Amino acid sequence: MDLKIDPRMVLSHSTQTPTDNKSRDLESLRESSRQFETIFVMEMFKAMRKAVPDGGLFEKNVSTEMFQEMMDMETAKATTKGKGLGLAEAMYNQMADLVENKK
């Protein structure tokens, strides 16, 4: 018994409804907006560090720079959790209409 399956039939049948796709797209948009805000805050921290003159208790080397970058990244993530600065929410609100109106 030789059964042949037409791949077009398998690929054309989708188990997800358009509302599932929209909700998935909106959730992806929210996460992307939050990640953008985190990167923005991280770059802000980098710019602020450049404005401060070198000096202090510890001499600056590769390991202290790496530690500062990691600390800045974690601080940026903590800053943007919840409501954050509002940049992610503003981006989400502006682009959510495009996702909802997509056919």
Assigned domain for 78 exists: yes
Residue type, 79: T
Tokens of 102: 């997509």
Between the two ends of the chain, the Cα-to-Cα distance in Å is 42
Assigned domain for 3 exists: no
When pLDDT is cut at 50, 70 and 90, the band that residue 3 belongs to is: low
Assigned domain for 24 exists: yes
Mean pLDDT of 79-101: 89
Assigned domain for 95 exists: yes
| Cα 46 to Cα 8: distance, rounded to the nearest angstrom | 52
Question: CB of 88 within 8 A of CB of 25?
Answer: no
Domain span holding position 39: 19-100
Question: CB of 25 within 8 A of CB of 99?
Answer: yes
Assigned domain for 27 exists: yes
Helices (H) and strands (E) in the chain, counts: 4, 0
Q: Give me the number of domains the chain comprises.
A: 1
Assigned domain for 39 exists: yes
Q: What is the pLDDT of residue 74?
A: 94
Tens digit of each residue's pLDDT (9 = 90 or more) over 6-62: 666 555 555 656 678 888 989 999 999 999 999 999 999 999 988 988 777 778 889
Q: What is the pLDDT of residue 87?
A: 93
Q: What is the pLDDT of residue 59?
A: 80
Assigned domain for 10 exists: no
Give the count of beta carbons closer than 10 Å to the beta carbon of residue 7. 8
Tokens of 100: 């909802």
Assigned domain for 8 exists: no
